[in-house]
Amino acid sequence: MTMTDSDRDDLLWVLALVPPLGVRLYGAGTEAATQALLLLALAFGIAYGWAALFARGAGRPLGPGLPAFAMTFVLMLPGPVALGGTVLALSFGAVFGREIFGGRAILSPALVGLAFAIFSFPEGGFEARGILARPPDLLFAMSCLPGAVILALRGSLAWQVAIGAVVGAVTAGLLMGDPAWWTHLGRGAFAAGVLFLAAAPEGAVRGESARWLHGVLVGVLIVVIRLANPDQPDGVVFAALLGGLFAPLLDRALSWRPSHG
């Protein structure tokens, strides 16, 4: 059977996400790792189940991106979460982040599902709290880089957004007087969120200049949310969501040309 471009993209996303998932599972402990693996199987089942249901009704193929959806959702979870909330969040991300658009998402379905979970179940453990009291996890951050480089070389990841987010985070940290500004890059889900949510092809703008600005906006928002909120949430999902929602506006603004005549 011939492998299509979509199949190759799905395979590359799986290979890119395996190292950070492995690091997360290794450091989580036996019980938490077991739950994460069960959630991963559940995420695959829900993603493919909703895709099959909508595809059958519309008479179309399943479409790409399902493995990345399931794996990214589980990768971004900071710890154990309730099963009921997870099922609802995954279903919301699948339906409203992907299937109602004919299987072609305008935002990462994992991002949509995670945002739904954080806003609907604020105490459900879907977002890390007290992020500044947690030490940077440099191993996790570094494990995200090899796969991201491969995806960027293939054009399946907007590298301008990722670098722009780093610039934005560093700038915000320095301007807000954070002496440990550099640690934001390794704290929480910064690396995974920037690379696999904010820079994912679903939410990235088309124009190169707008992509840089998109990334800077995400990076600034992450640091501002962490430093300005006494609860110190991770801020990655909310920043990536806002960046994705403003992406079309940024693209239109930077590509606008005055008409003559």
The residue out of 74, 98, 120 marking a domain boundary is 120
The residue out of 72, 95, 120 marking a domain boundary is 120
Q: Do 104 and 166 lie in a common domain?
A: no
Q: Do 250 and 149 lie in a common domain?
A: yes
Is 92 within a domain? Answer: yes
- Percentage above 90 pLDDT, the chain: 72
Q: Do 140 and 114 lie in a common domain?
A: no
Q: What is the mean pLDDT of the chain?
A: 90
pTM here is 0.92
Q: Do 107 and 194 lie in a common domain?
A: no
pLDDT at 117 over 90: yes
Q: Which band of pLDDT confidence, cut at 50, 70 and 90, is reported for residue 92?
A: very high
Burial 73-97 (b: 16+ CB within 10 A, else e): bbbbbbeebeeebbebbbbbbbbbb
Identify the domain containing residue 81 by its residue range: 5-120
Q: Do 101 and 161 lie in a common domain?
A: no
pLDDT at 208 over 50: yes
Q: What is the pLDDT of residues 184-197, one digit of tens each?
A: 999 999 999 999 99
Looking at the 3D structure of the chain, how many domains does it have?
2
Looking at residue 124, the DSSP 8-state letter turns out to be T
Q: Do 79 and 162 lie in a common domain?
A: no
Is 125 within a domain? Answer: no
Closest by CA position to 126, among listed 142, 135, 113:
113
Q: What is the mean pLDDT of residues 248-255?
A: 72
Q: Do 139 and 89 lie in a common domain?
A: no
